[in-house]
Structure 1
Amino acid sequence: MAATHQLIRCQPSNASIVRRTFDVLDQPEKRNTGYPLDSAYQPLVKKIYESRYLALQDLRAYIERPEHHLTDITLSIAFLLMMAEIQHSAYGRWRSHLEGVRRIIKLRGGLHAVAQPSHPQTLSVVLNFIGVDIVSCITAASAHLVPRSEEQTQHQEYIRQLLNDGSYLHTGFPGPLKILEGLALVNHLRAVSSIQQNKEDSELDYRAFTALQVIMSISPRLWAASICHRISMGMGAFTKEHPKRDVSPNSSSTVICITYPQAVDNIEGHWVSVATLYQCASLLYCIRTLFLDRHRSKQTNRFLAAVGIDLLSLRQKTINALWEHLRLSLHREKYWRAGALFTEYLIWPLLIVGLEDCGGDDRVGHREFVINALKQLSLCVGKLSWLDAELFLKSAWEKPWQTWDDLFYGTHGNCAFL
């Protein structure tokens, strides 16, 4: 992984890595990688492939012994191989490693048995696995989420338990765990909606409203303050979540907590921006897939009216906040000096805003902003999957699409923009 990072970062420009010419949306069978690593023609390429081969050979030799099948080492290596595949391509063989991690966890008794606070290294692997499993479902069509729906529910329950007992966490997810819980709920409800073929369902509408409220009720500033407090205490960037809030339609505590940029140049300001970016991107994903793309019952409108939410107004406000925080993050001089600490978290917000607010002839400047950001950040963080996101967006802008499922059906659930 380090050699791949070094190779990508040492390129004078992304033009040194040649893209394959195919339509990302219409030819999924050729999608394995839009920017093949070996096109860089650099001595490190050979080292990367040799290292991958040796790693797989060593792993094979290790797990041939039955007593090694379910060890912490096997679990950690499987997870690292998955992340290495995602680094090489958003469409690579990462899913086989994801399923390997899932199987090891299941055979060891499930999430609660494996992720024990007394074993922080294993806990970190499991929590990062949960983050990847949830976020990778976002770039899948609803029909492809049906087999993964049960796991999304399990992730919700596990995250909820961690929130309730006040555990400190580090999932690799750059925001409050409540956002991750909300995303898992959205993924599950999309699968349910697919089974029901998008028919009106008041119960599903109510649960969709609940998912929206879960994401809206989060305060990026409180979360950022808790991270910075722990850093100042020498405990690392772990988060302690705030008490569970009442998100029922009758709750007076339901508020919109989208944070707008302030003139802050400290580390806490960066974390506020990152958390707000993910909150906004999550809101747009929820609004698009559970409200705009579905036939809603009249009860949904009553739910929204009861708490004073105008869906289209909320969507536009969220888009505006997302753009503001992207610009704030990308143009801050101190931000760039911070290196990959913050840049590695921007691919998904860029993808979401690229899909939700970059269509049409009047958005040329917005499209250029997103593409340039993806190219530059790919060099910074050393991930080819970010260039795959660029190809995906360009294909999406060239073809008309109506729903989220239209966009991602061709990926067959094998797409991870991380």
Structure 2
Amino acid sequence: MDESTKSANQHNQNKDRRGKRHCWECRRRCLVCDSEAPECQRCRASGIHCPGYGEVKPTRLKWVTPGRVLSRDQKQKKSLVYKNQDNHVNIITGSTSIIAPMKHDIYMPIPRFEMHEEVHAILQGYEYFNSCIYTDLIPLHELGYNPYVYPLSEKHLQAAVWCPDYLKYGMLCMIVSHRINQIGNAIPPRAMVEKFYNYWGLAVRSLNEYLDMEDRRSGDSVIAGILTLLLADIQQGSSLNWRCHLDAIYRLIMLRGGFHAVAELKSMEPLLLCFWSVAVMGNTTCPASDLFMTTFQLKTLKFLPQQYITTVSPIQLCPVTLFIELIKISHLRMRATRPDAANTKTFKTESFEILECVNRFSPHRLAQSKSSNHEVWALVGLVYQAAVALYCILSLQSLSILPETQALRVQCATHGRLMQTLLVEALESKSLKRFMIWPLVVLGVEAVHGDAAMRAFVAKELSELSQSVGSYVPLTAKRVLRDFWASGKTRWDACFDRPYVFTGQIAVDTSGLMPLYR
């Protein structure tokens, strides 16, 4: 009997006596090992040499103290890289800090966490979520039962230990960022910021590993991981490359047969709802020449509302009818920037038809369609009706699609005054305030037309929202609007000179993926 067979037999005997033992590589990657000898199936499937199950950590795995590892980025596959106009490459799983010239190696300091440190961080995050974040989300149930709002249980904690690193550390990024923003200091504690980027680096490294695996790159959990990093980047204020994340998810969905095929899976419902909400709302605050996926969104209008937006209490509160008009407006803006664009008369007709649909929307009918809290839902309908009308007029006037007439200016001013009054009430509601960021941004654009009191109101409320909801997004919006107000310009596209996204969502529901980690 050769030495390898003896070693395998001895390993199996030891396994029977003391229970299942994970190989060192599976322990490093926090994966469930099958404990087979001489090498586990996970390592074999990944093309990695299994280091075995010995009592001593193998030195060839380079287990070193946290903060001392330089991780050299691997060559990115063409389908997973976005190249910008400056010939720089934006890795789809990265944010602003991972932008480098083409043909140059990318180095990023990434710490290595020992197992006990990781478990301690997960336990801390678990306690913080239930005591702080979940407590703030409980009022959302006043709008109707919300399947995406629930406390973390022991089942979630067990799943967190074994789920992929990119989900684990992505969630820790969200928790640390929430704490940083709730502190509300002008300069956040350095240790907390370092911790955020440590977790962020670990999540990026893990996600890149999975994206390099052809049989795993388009899985549900990978899409959830990219969404988690997207929201973490936005929440912390590093959102310049959020479009790279969306583009990656779109490509992965196409690899799986398209949106309709993926949407049939129940586990994907919260992921696609988040993806769709960020994509549609993000387009409203992007330059008309740089809109994303508007044609695709328009083609799925008949399917989308039935499957997702009609949930009892959606992640974003824009009513279905108005959400559809947002897609139409953004698509019209995109078409107007094309070199082969149709004549402006056609665009003008379409724009007035859209505006008429927005004006015909009935907040009262929306409220009556809900089982309870009719006054609150009527308030939601009124706020979003005014906001969408302003977006329609101001963004299409920016492209000279709608004329700058006295009647439209009066309509905008009326919507603006009404919105400010409604927002005072909405922002006092614990169940509504986190959904008022986008309406405040729209009001801020309208406020450029000479209303100093309205500008002061928007700036004040955005500052308070940041600390209240634990996100840097309102402060980003405040900075963008203040630069716009000081510029002397008044057009919509002059305010949003590059893509921005203003969402109050800080995490995506991954509970439907838990069976994958058992």
TM-score, with structure 1 as normaliser: 0.71
Q: Structure 1 regions of 5+ residues with no counterpart?
A: 18-38, 233-266, 302-308
Amino acid paired to 1:324:
T
RMSD: 2.8
Query: Compared with structure 1, are the counterparts of its residues 291 and 326 closer, same or farther at alpha carbon in structure 2 (3 Å cutoff)?
Result: same
Query: Compared with structure 1, are the counterparts of its residues 367 and 168 closer, same or farther at alpha carbon in structure 2 (3 Å cutoff)?
Result: closer
Distance 2:425 2:340 in 1: 41
* 1:319 matched to 2:461: no
Distance 1:296 1:392 in 2: 24
Aligned residues: 329
* 1:343 matched to 2:446: no
Q: CA deviation at 1:358?
A: 4.3
Decide whether the 8 Å contact of 1:152 with 1:187 is kept in 2.
yes
What's 1:64 paired with?
212
Distance 1:295 1:163 in 2: 28
Distance 1:165 1:144 in 2: 28
What's 1:387 paired with?
475
What's 1:8 paired with?
181
Distance 1:157 1:134 in 2: 13
Decide whether the 8 Å contact of 1:175 with 1:278 is kept in 2.
yes
* 1:328 matched to 2:413: no
What's 2:320 paired with?
177
Between Structure 1 and Structure 2, the one with more helix by share is: 1
Amino acid paired to 2:463:
K
What's 1:205 paired with?
348
Query: Compared with structure 1, are the counterparts of its residues 171 and 164 closer, same or farther at alpha carbon in structure 2 (3 Å cutoff)?
Result: closer
Of residues 112, 116, 127, the one that matches 2:260 is 112
RCO comparison, higher one (Cα < 8 Å, 6+): 1
State the secondary structure of the residue aligned to 1:55. helix
What's 1:89 paired with?
237
Amino acid paired to 1:222:
R
Question: Relative to structure 2, which stretch is displaced further, 310-319 or 159-168?
Answer: 159-168
Query: Compared with structure 1, are the counterparts of its residues 199 and 292 closer, same or farther at alpha carbon in structure 2 (3 Å cutoff)?
Result: farther
Q: CA deviation at 1:219?
A: 2.2
What's 1:190 paired with?
333
Give the % identical residues.
Answer: 25
Query: Compared with structure 1, are the counterparts of its residues 57 and 349 closer, same or farther at alpha carbon in structure 2 (3 Å cutoff)?
Result: same
What's 2:501 paired with?
416
Greater Cα radius of gyration, structure 1 or 2: 2
Distance 1:4 1:205 in 2: 44
Q: CA deviation at 1:387?
A: 0.6
Q: CA deviation at 1:8?
A: 1.2
- Which digits, 9 at most, give the CA deviation of each residue in 1:76-116, with x for residues without a partner? 11111111111112643322211111111111122111112
Decide whether the 8 Å contact of 1:215 with 1:282 is kept in 2.
yes
Any residues of structure 2 matched to 1:363-374 within 5 Å, and which? Answer: 363-374=451-462
* 1:122 matched to 2:122: no
Question: Relative to structure 2, which stretch is displaced further, 170-179 or 134-143?
Answer: 170-179
Any residues of structure 2 matched to 1:19-418 within 5 Å, and which? Answer: 39-89=187-237, 91-116=239-264, 119-145=265-291, 148=292, 151-163=293-305, 168-169=310-311, 172-195=315-338, 201-227=344-370, 229=371, 267-291=373-397, 293-294=399-400, 310-330=407-427, 332=428, 335=429, 338=430, 341-360=431-450, 363-409=451-497, 411=498, 414-418=499-503
- Which digits, 9 at most, give the CA deviation of each residue in 1:187-220, with x for residues without a partner? 1111222225998522222211222133223223
State the secondary structure of the residue aligned to 1:160. coil
Q: CA deviation at 1:318?
A: 1.8
Amino acid paired to 1:159:
L
Distance 1:350 1:393 in 2: 10
State the secondary structure of the residue aligned to 2:496. helix
Q: CA deviation at 1:357?
A: 2.3
Distance 1:165 1:391 in 2: 36
State the secondary structure of the residue aligned to 2:316. coil
Decide whether the 8 Å contact of 1:199 with 1:295 is kept in 2.
no
Distance 1:214 1:104 in 2: 34
Q: CA deviation at 1:292?
A: 6.4
Distance 2:296 2:418 in 1: 31
Distance 1:177 1:369 in 2: 28
State the secondary structure of the residue aligned to 1:278. helix
Decide whether the 8 Å contact of 1:176 with 1:220 is kept in 2.
no
What's 2:132 paired with?
none
Distance 2:363 2:247 in 1: 32
Decide whether the 8 Å contact of 1:131 with 1:171 is kept in 2.
no
Distance 1:166 1:75 in 2: 17
Q: CA deviation at 1:402?
A: 3.9
Amino acid paired to 1:371:
A
Q: Structure 2 regions of 5+ residues with no counterpart?
A: 1-173, 504-518
